[in-house]
Copies of this chain bind each other. A is one copy, B any other.
Amino acid sequence: MSGLPLSAATKHLRVVLPDQLSPFAQRGSTEEVEEGRAFAPKFDADGLVTCVVTDAQSGDVLMVAHMNAQALQQTIATGEACYFSRSRQSLWRKGESSGHRQRVVEMRVDCDQDAVWIKVEQEGAGACHTGRRSCFYRAVPLGKAGAVMLEFRDAEKTFDPSAVYGKTK
């Protein structure tokens, strides 16, 4: 196996990797999943777990993304955030286009192990492809009836997305 490029071999894998490659355990009982120390992520029908990304300094939620087994494994191994792009259907090392990489300070997993939370140090000016620090730059007003109109909040652009991502945005 030593000569096999891992990225090529696992590019389209949507299930846990073979035992010798995978850092993940098989799913056990509810008690084992919730109270145990084995890491047994619950990938959904598309082979993904949800990943919440917060800024390690401010605590703000920067983005919500998804990880397949390979993205999760690479993030754990390298300490740099790697996701699975559902729109492109491919592995997505955060910052590979923009340079705005994310160094993972801490990773947590939730009770039923279908979501992870990473606290990151965000390199560059922001995490959002629209040119903002966070993807969550609009508030939804509460307690109102009828059509909801969003309110921009912390929405100043911190970089020019066309300059960073090029015309293909």
Contact A140 B63 (CB under 8 A): no
Could you say how many copies of this chain the assembly holds? 2
- Which residues of B lie under 8 Å from residue A104 when comparing CB positions? 142
Contacts of A109 in B (CB 8 A): 136, 138-140, 150
Please tell me if the beta carbons of A23 and B147 are within 8 angstroms of each other in the complex: yes
**Which of A5-13, A93-101, A111-119 contacts the other chain?**
A111-119
Of residues 139 to 169 in A, which have CB atoms within 8 Å of B's CB atoms?
139-153
Which residues does A use to contact B, with CB under 8 Å? 23-25, 34-39, 50, 52, 54, 59-61, 63-64, 75-79, 104, 106-111, 115-117, 128-130, 132, 135-153
The 4 closest A-B pairs by CB, nearest first: A59-B59, A108-B136, A39-B148, A110-B135
